[in-house]
């Protein structure tokens, strides 16, 4: 798809006049606001689950995701990014390979947990067989809370489980404390999984040396235009490594590597970025 620079500038003209800024400054400001909003959303979701995003590797995918990845990682404090071989096709790949999953939920009647799960299993088997799915595996969970709470924690369940003890441990892990208050079982949750044939991921031979040609492109980074190397992703061999700034163009996505980041191609042709 062609990109028309003159139409992009025209679209920004009204806003740039209103803000008394040029089109480059407005574009950069828009990107900063977008990145800030995304970084905030990632942090909130992680912290709500009791996880520090700085302890994790960011997986960046989608057509535009790898353009924002370094900026988001720096904003949040993440030090490593993984960009899969075809980030723009990542969701489609998952759709073709992930096991078919159905979630069945029911309130627990008169504390008959095992009877509730048996009913859910019967329902799941009937529906999945009608869709010609066999080899179905089941995972059992309970939504549990302390009496009086307005939110639940989902815990795995098996027959004979000490539900109170398991819930106390999980509540303390997430929120830093547990209570002697009684617990309430709100829902039984059954996850039914029908296996789908997997696509084999081929490992490539790592090369110590890889002859790669790059061009140069004028890029606006950190408030100024700089010359950045431009690589074609298909030309990169496993084992190739370099430092930012750099632009890596692929069929389905573009990666922006900022300065102070080093990057390498691994044996599965993922590109790993590290601060």
* pLDDT tens across the length of the chain (275 residues): 788 989 999 999 989 999 999 999 999 999 999 999 999 999 888 888 788 889 999 999 999 999 999 999 999 999 999 999 999 999 999 888 888 899 999 988 667 899 999 999 999 999 988 888 878 999 999 999 999 898 999 999 998 899 999 999 999 998 999 999 999 999 999 999 988 888 888 888 888 678 888 899 999 988 899 999 999 999 999 999 999 999 999 999 999 999 999 999 999 999 999 99
**Do 211 and 164 sit in the same domain of this protein?**
no
Note down the domain range covering 76: 8-93+202-225+252-275
Same domain, 104 and 146: yes
**Residues 85 and 138 occupy one common structural domain:** no
Q: Is there a single domain that holds both residue 79 and residue 161?
A: no
Tokens in use for 153? 């924690």
Whether 176 and 112 share a structural domain: yes
- Following DSSP, what letter does each residue of 165-207 receive, concatenated? HHHHHHHHHHHS---SS-EEEEEEEEEEEE--PPPPPPPPPP-
Could you tell me if 181 and 103 lie in one domain? yes
Give me the number of domains the chain comprises.
2
What is the value of pTM for the model shown? 0.75
């Amino acid at each position: 798809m062609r990109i028309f620079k003159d139409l992009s500038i025209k679209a920004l003209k009204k806003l740039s006049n209103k803000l008394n800024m040029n089109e480059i400054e407005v574009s950069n400001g828009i990107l900063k606001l977008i990145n800030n909003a995304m970084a905030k959303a990632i942090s909130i979701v992680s912290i709500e689950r009791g996880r520090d995003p700085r302890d994790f590797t960011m997986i960046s995918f989608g057509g535009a995701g790898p353009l924002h990845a370094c900026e988001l990682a720096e904003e949040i404090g993440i030090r490593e990014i993984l960009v899969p071989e075809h980030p723009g096709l990542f969701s489609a790949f998952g759709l073709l390979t992930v096991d078919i999953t159905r979630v069945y939920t029911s309130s627990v009647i008169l504390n008959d947990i095992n009877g509730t799960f048996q009913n859910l299993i019967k329902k799941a088997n009937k529906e999945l067989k009608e869709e010609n799915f066999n080899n179905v595996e089941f995972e059992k969970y309970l939504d549990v809370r302390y009496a009086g709470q307005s939110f639940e924690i989902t815990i795995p369940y098996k027959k004979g489980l000490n539900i109170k003890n398991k819930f106390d441990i999980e509540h303390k892990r997430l929120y830093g404390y547990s209570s002697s208050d009684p617990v309430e079982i709100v829902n039984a949750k059954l996850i039914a999984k029908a296996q789908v044939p997997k696509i084999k991921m081929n490992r490539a031979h790592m090369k110590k040396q890889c002859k790669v040609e790059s061009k140069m492109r004028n890029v606006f980074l950190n408030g100024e235009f700089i010359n950045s190397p431009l690589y074609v992703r298909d030309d990169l061999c496993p084992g190739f490594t370099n430092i930012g700034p750099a632009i890596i163009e692929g069929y389905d996505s573009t990666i922006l590597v900022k300065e102070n980041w080093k990057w390498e191609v691994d044996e599965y042709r993922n590109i790993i970025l590290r601060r």
